[in-house]
Chains A and B, each alone.
Chain A
Amino acid sequence: QVQLQESGPGLVKPSVTLSLTCSVSRGSIRSTTHYWGWVRQPPGKGLEWIGSIFYTGSTYYNPSLESRVTFSVDTTKNQFSLRLGSVTAADTAVYFCARQSVREGGPPFFDLWGQGTLVTVSS
């Protein structure tokens, strides 16, 4: 069973760049039927899609965050990463990495999630 695990700092200062990595185990990130995404959830609030990346490096970002976000993929390490710049307290959230599957020829949906990691933005 494929597993996803987020890693990164739990506390970052305002205005810096937040970096998180998602490690994929028991399966290959080099899949033609999967995308790899990030979703965040502020404490006590709902879910927000940040963006997704294909193993080739093609990226799809939420326009609300596109000016501050960069995704990358490392197929040799079976990992993909998120960088979010100029963070503020509003970026405090649990950040989930997730796999998106293409089924029946349709667009991809989230079918497997990491456990999530809480990132707090505070000085």
Chain B
Amino acid sequence: DIQMTQSPSTLSASVGDRVTITCRASQSISTWLAWYQQKPGKAPNVLIYKASNLESGVPSRFSGSGFGTEFTLTISSLQPDDFATYYCQQYNYYPWTFGQGTRVEIK
């Protein structure tokens, strides 16, 4: 299985901060990576697909980059609605696997 490792596990930040989350794959997955946001008691919601494509309806402050084994999700200016847990997921190889999650907390 492809192991997806996110860092950090927890991130404390303030409104307006630029935030970056990293996701590393145990082997190359090309650009077949998605990012999801999950709030407590809710289903995940896709933000980015194919490493850097912004899903329709997602604010432009979210962006993704990377190729191969290293990927990043950036929030350019953190908003109150962005405090949540973020997951990366590779969909290049079965079984599709998720990172362990990064919790973004209010500083």
Interface residues of A in 77-91 (CB under 8 A from B): none
Interface residues on chain B, size class:
20 to 34
> Is the pair A46, B98 in contact by a Cβ cutoff of 8 Å?
yes
Q: Which of B19-27, B43-51, B61-69, B71-79 contacts A (4 or more CB under 8 A)?
A: B43-51
> Is the pair B96, A49 in contact by a Cβ cutoff of 8 Å?
yes
Chain A: interface residue total (CB-CB under 8 A):
22
Given known pairs A46-B98, A49-B98, the reply for A111 and B32 (CB within 8 Å) is no
Is chain A's interface secondary structure helix, strand, loop, or mixed overall?
Answer: loop
> Chain B 25-51, CB within 8 Å of chain A: the 1/0 string?
000000010101000001111100110
Interface residues of A in 99-115 (CB under 8 A from B): 103-104, 106-111, 113-115
B96 / chain A contacts, CB cutoff of 8 Å: 49
> Is the pair A46, B50 in contact by a Cβ cutoff of 8 Å?
no
A113 / chain B contacts, CB cutoff of 8 Å: 43-45
Is chain B's interface secondary structure helix, strand, loop, or mixed overall?
Answer: loop
> Is the pair B98, A109 in contact by a Cβ cutoff of 8 Å?
no
> Apart from A113-B44, A116-B42, what are 16 other A-B pairs with CB-CB below 8 Å?
A46-B87, A46-B100, A46-B101, A47-B89, A49-B98, A62-B95, A64-B95, A96-B43, A96-B44, A98-B43, A106-B32, A109-B91, A110-B44, A110-B89, A111-B46, A116-B43
B7 contacts A by Cβ under 8 Å: no
CB distance from A98 to the nearest CB of B (A): 8
CB distance from B75 to the nearest CB of A (A): 20
Interface residues of A (CB under 8 A from B): 46-49, 60, 62-64, 96, 98, 103-104, 106-111, 113-116
A64 / chain B contacts, CB cutoff of 8 Å: 95
> Is the pair A63, B95 in contact by a Cβ cutoff of 8 Å?
yes
A48 / chain B contacts, CB cutoff of 8 Å: 98
> Is the pair B46, A47 in contact by a Cβ cutoff of 8 Å?
no
A46 / chain B contacts, CB cutoff of 8 Å: 87, 98-101
Could you give 12 example pairs across A and B, Cβ below 8 Å? A46-B98, A47-B87, A49-B97, A60-B94, A62-B94, A62-B95, A63-B95, A109-B49, A109-B50, A109-B91, A110-B89, A116-B42
* C-alpha spacing A30/B55, complex, angstroms: 23
